[in-house]
Amino acid sequence: MITNYKMTLPKQLIFALALVFTVFLPSTLCDLEVGFYNSSCPTAESLVQQTVAAAFANNTGVAGGLIRLHFHDCFVRGCDGSVLINTTANNTAERDSPANNPSLHGFDIIDTAKSAIEAVCPQTVSCADILAFAARDSIALTGNITYQVPSGRRDGTISNDTEASANLPAGTFNATQLINNFASKNLTAEEMVILSGAHTVGVSHCNSFRNRLYDSNNNSQVDSTLSPAYATLLQSLCPSNTDQFTLITTALDLTTPTTLDNNYYIGLQLTLGLLTSDQALLTNTTLNASVNSFASNQTLWQEKFINAMIKMGQIEVMTGTQGEVRLNCSVVNSASSAGFGSYLVTLFIDVPVQIEAADLKVGFYSKACPSAESLVKQAVATAFANNSGVAAGLIRLHFHDCFVRGCEASVLLDSPNNTAEKDAPPNNPSLHGFEVIDAAKSAIEAKCPQTVSCADILAFAARDSITLTGNITYDVPAGRRDGTVSNATEALINLPAPTFNASQLITNFKGKNLTDEELVTLSGAHTLGVSHCTGFLNRIYNFSSTISVDPAISKPYASLLQSLCPQNVTQFTPTVTALDLISPTVLDNKYYVLLTQSLGLLTSDNALLTDANLSAIVTDYANHQKTWEGRFAKAMVKMGKIEVLTGNQGQIRVNCRVVNKGTGTEQGLESGPGSDQFSRVASS
């Protein structure tokens, strides 16, 4: 954790921006362009530079804070300025996540720079670009390193504290966790080591490294990879009872805490890394080699640090007409405020549902493409007539879409190197229904070219599948737009695993603003469809070191599953079994009835009985099918609004499997980590 480190320096040094290292890059990258504001606001970058220099003159610690602020912005929703947004009465923003509060600083400097720019060029320069410029200027002030920043980013309108906790690498991460976390942002293991070098400036709160000094009972227990002398010093500074809000801090780099240099790596070699995640770089052979290389060659690290910062600054950026240019960096513009936190509204409305929220509207295509919903319905009905199993596939396809990047059809995108969401282990080979969406899209395109989004088609198809299997119908608010990025690692991070316990399920659904009741309600979709053996293998073989079979599963049922699934099956073994033994093709409440009889198939199914609150809801639904049906329709509508793109955001794909040409975002499909990295994430 980097926060303000105050140290007085001669003022003449503040302006000594010696341009020692200048890296020349292609001027245009992923719709970002060096000199983007040359015509529209030529003084933008100089105004940011002046603001940062003035703040640095009063407190040199602001530099570390601004570099970290940019990093924490880019790792959550991409570099879209969402970290700058304030919390509201209805939403806790990223900046108030434990990962950011109270340690993150520099907001006031961005606000000052924004005010100066707005006075000259109203609503022209995005907060995301201001933050990228400020980080670059901080690097110049502390390391005599300068580089050109490609700009043209747009500002996001959503900021959620749980997403910060889910996406930011923790100070307690080990090497594998760090590698996987950075891979999910399309950053290599070497780039992870390079960017970690920013810990050569700034300070950390005691709470971030107390795990290396004390055990859970606050007794002294020092990490063996930490210098004993350093540990003693830290214990004298930080008593065992410190917490997140204890204001005591210490420098991350003991030797040059206000200079951006390679002393961070030298400190690691001397077992003087402060955080678990710092010292973890020595526990992996490849990472350790990079540390040694940078410790012995500062120029090499500085050059690579520039390139890594520029690459990081391109993570999932919004450009063109996506997002907005905020007037005030801490508040979304009033005209677009429906996009911020609007998916937090809980919908308690009797079926059929009539709503207009999050810029979605029932009957959205009534004029632009009046036959859209009926064409989807026909495509689903035709497929269902040939194979009733497509219904469960389409419902699950909608769920898996909404839980990764929101309901914007990223799950439908293909990737030439198998790194899209659909290629992730939670989706491949089990996810189905893509061809039904393709058929519906083709029929609609013939009638209404580039009018109806793939995201809306998928929402309609899920609703029609529910009607076919459960005789439940509801109105689907539409107006979603299609996303342009699909990454397999994000599916691994965001989708609830079949091995999740109750606490993990609750946390996962809460991250999508779904309640405990809605978790249990939506789990009822498991009354349809099948599961591959690997989804429940952990329950029937080697359940623990002393027990072979999960005692919570019916013994006869376990024996049946063992006869069906030998112990050596893999993810791609085609054997499947029904999730609901009683009525596997009917959407009803039998799923809940089976849970009460120890006949839930997955760990995550049975987990609903291990929490008193969740178990009470299971019992209620097992006894009252109509109650569940009504709530299920409402929960589907609410889920269908998770982080939707609307208005000018995203695009309307011509082909649901491919982003439109000429958008400059096709690279988003190819930028993920390789399949070997997916395997490592999956196994962890």
- Known binding-site residues equal 73, 76, 78, 80, 82, 94, 169, 199-200, 253, 256, 261
Which two tokens mark 285? 């052979």
- 432 flagged as catalytic: no
Q: Is 581 exposed, middle or buried (0-12, 13-18, 19+ CB in 10 A)?
A: middle
What CA–CA distance (Å, rounded) separates 589 from 618? Answer: 10
Q: What is the C-alpha end-to-end distance of the chain, expressed in Å?
A: 25
**Residue 301, CB-side half-sphere exposure with 13 Å CA sphere:** 26
Q: Helices 625-639 and 612-623, interaxial angle, to 10°?
A: 120
Cα–Cα dist 52/669, whole Å: 36
Instruction: Report residue 239 as tokens.
Output: 């008593």
Cα(244)–Cα(238) distance, integer angstroms: 12
How many residues are there in the chain?
684
Exposed e or buried b per residue across 362-375, where buried means at least 16 C-beta atoms within 10 angstroms of its C-beta: bebbeeebeebbeb
Q: Which two tokens stand for residue 255?
A: 């030797």
Q: Cα separations (Å) of 643 from 236, 338, 343?
A: 46, 11, 7
Contact present, 621 and 593 (Cβ < 8 Å): no
Whole-Å CA distances, 32 to 37, 151, 159, 314, 659: 11, 5, 23, 8, 18
**Which positions make up the binding site for substrate?**
169
User: Are the C-beta atoms of 84 and 132 separated by less than 8 Å?
Assistant: no
**Residue 555 DSSP symbol:** H
Write the burial class of residue 241 (CB in 10 Å: 0-12 exposed, 13-18 middle, 19+ buried): exposed
Residue 386: phi and psi, rounded to 5, are -85, -30
The residue among 305, 98, 293, 106 whose CA lies nearest residue 198 is 305
Q: Which of 70, 72, 400, 532 is catalytic?
A: 72
Radius of gyration of the CA atoms of the chain, in A: 26
125/147 Cα distance (integer angstroms):
19
CA 45 vs. chain centroid, Å, equals 30
Pair 96, 87: CB distance under 8 Å: yes
- Segment 575-579 long-range contacts (CB within 8 Å, at least 24 positions apart): 575/532, 575/533, 576/530, 576/531, 576/532, 576/533, 577/530, 577/531, 577/533, 577/601, 578/529, 578/530, 579/526, 579/527, 579/528, 579/529, 579/530, 579/531, 579/605
Give the residue from 486, 451, 514, 498 showing the smallest Cα distance to 682: 498
- Provide the strand spans (E) within 203-310: 203-205, 249-251
Phi-psi map region of 466: left, alpha, beta (phi>0 left; psi -120 to 50 alpha):
alpha
Q: Are strands 145-147 and 21-23 parallel, antiparallel or unpaired?
A: parallel
Instruction: Compute φ and ψ for 197, nearest 5 degrees.
Output: -65, -15
Strand segments (E) across 344-445: 356-357, 360-361
Residue with tokens 């999932």: 316
Name the residues annotated as catalytic: 72
